[in-house]
Chains A and B, each alone.
Chain A
């Protein structure tokens, strides 16, 4: 019993060729991604500064300090482990760093992300974390307090120019 004959093999490679064509067309017109087709561009742009996000617990901390920018080494407030609250860190981080217009629905969506938290007077500061190469041999990581989330709502950092919350993107 011969399984796949020569003619079938030729047909097989022809079918792969046609798939490749469709594959190439779809990824070329959709910025490299048309799941499950992909050019696999992960980590393709090296050396660029990055922005992530995290949540710091600033409950009971003095108001005048919580809005200050600081470096990662000088971080004072403990991080809130977002997984414990059912939040996907990657989604959360993208939501904070890629949202350009902080409209009321966006802020409500941020509040909704953590379910019933923060509650009982807790204050959670979502921060943007920026990393970049400095000089020849080090990475500098800066923390910028971004949005304070409490039971009463979501508040912008008064130290930052309000325009950064409208069209601010990756700043």
Chain B
């Protein structure tokens, strides 16, 4: 077996039998993705309709045509309505196999409409990546036997890859001295201006005070976070996954405390994909409910 087939076996677990717990968990996970997709497209749509006036920074397909058209005529809201309708149909498996593919394209469009203003946030990437994996799974691995395994396995693959990629982006962007604690001082001061401007007041919390008080403490905080990102790819291995994911969740809490950046959807999704929840469901349920089979 080649090395990449071994990774495939860790991600897709061909030897594990499908249980009611797996199917039920998958449907709950899909419901979580559907919920956040609908939430995001409406938040972005409403904001774009009210606030966006000019394209400051074109992203994705906005490089190829002027998305400012979508700032008016309620087009961003119409797109949100369309995505909502289609994703509900896709969730209940009432549409064609390629429906999720249409949804991810419209979702991408909605993202570039909203985030044409200069900021490039990443906090919704995992939800977007999950919709993308649902799209690929529905086309190439349809049916209850294969789709849940492929979708969950590929999502885990891309989450792990993303963290490790973030580690290398820092190594290439700055160098080995990236973890110099004074860099954290700069970021804390930068974020403090955002909070002062947003709220009118800012007071550093205990961890921030400790980091600002000592270069060594600040450096250790950065180093721990950076190394945690590096080992992100180890979640590809089934046995390591819960430990890696626990460290990543810890890292996100660390970022929230030092830089005041919250990652609700990110952390919930890590909790969902990082641990074998299907086993918990299997201890309570021995058969798969009919409707779950129908929607699988």
Contacts and interface: CB of A to CB of B under 8 A. Distances in A.
A153 B239 CA distance: 62
Given A13-B8, A36-B129, A52 B157 contact: no
Interface residues of B, number: 81
Interface residues of A, number: 72
Interface of A: 1-6, 8-13, 15-17, 19, 30, 32-48, 50, 52-55, 72, 78-84, 86-95, 98-99, 105-106, 108-109, 112-113, 129, 131-133, 137, 139, 141
A91 B121 CA distance: 11
Name the residue in B115, B119, B180, B199 with the highest tally of chain A Cβ atoms < 10 Å from its Cβ: B119
Interface of B: 4-5, 7-9, 11-18, 22, 47, 50-51, 53-54, 56-57, 59-60, 63, 104, 108, 111-112, 115, 117-122, 124-129, 131-132, 136, 140-141, 145-146, 148-150, 153-154, 157, 162-163, 165-166, 169-170, 172-174, 177-178, 180, 182-183, 185-187, 189-190, 193-194, 196-200, 215
A109 B51 CA distance: 9
Given A8-B141, A79-B200, A113-B51, A35 B60 contact: yes
Nearest to B178: A46
Given A4-B145, A41-B169, A98-B118, A89 B197 contact: yes
Given A112-B53, A131-B189, A139-B189, A44 B174 contact: yes
A5 B198 CA distance: 53
Contacts of B9: 9
B129 A54 contact: no
A42 B263 CA distance: 14
Contacts of B199: 81, 83
Contacts of B108: 35-36
B140 A15 contact: yes
A139 B8 contact: no
A141 B8 CA distance: 50
A35 B111 contact: yes
Given A44-B169, A133-B182, 4 more contacts: A35-B112, A38-B165, A90-B194, A129-B193
B51 A91 contact: yes
Nearest to B222: A46
A46 B183 contact: yes
A39 B16 contact: no
7 contacts: A4-B149, A8-B12, A12-B8, A38-B125, A46-B177, A94-B57, A113-B51
Contacts of B122: 38, 40, 42
Given A8-B146, A99-B56, A137 B215 contact: yes
A91 B60 CA distance: 18
Given A30-B60, A52-B190, A129-B193, A94 B119 contact: yes
Contacts of A42: 122, 166
Given A38-B122, A133-B186, A54 B172 contact: no
> Which 5 pairs show the lowest CB-CB distances between chains A and B?
A36-B128, A94-B118, A44-B173, A13-B8, A81-B200
Name the residue in B8, B50, B174, B183 with the highest tally of chain A Cβ atoms < 10 Å from its Cβ: B8
Nearest to B199: A81
A3 B18 CA distance: 5
B17 A3 contact: yes
A133 B47 CA distance: 35
Given A44-B169, A45-B174, A79 B162 contact: no
Contacts of B189: 131, 139, 141
B208 to A, nearest CB: 13
B170 A46 contact: yes
A98 B58 CA distance: 13
Given A36-B125, A50-B186, A44 B8 contact: no
A8 B14 contact: yes
Given A4-B149, A52-B194, A89-B194, A13 B5 contact: yes
A55 B146 contact: no
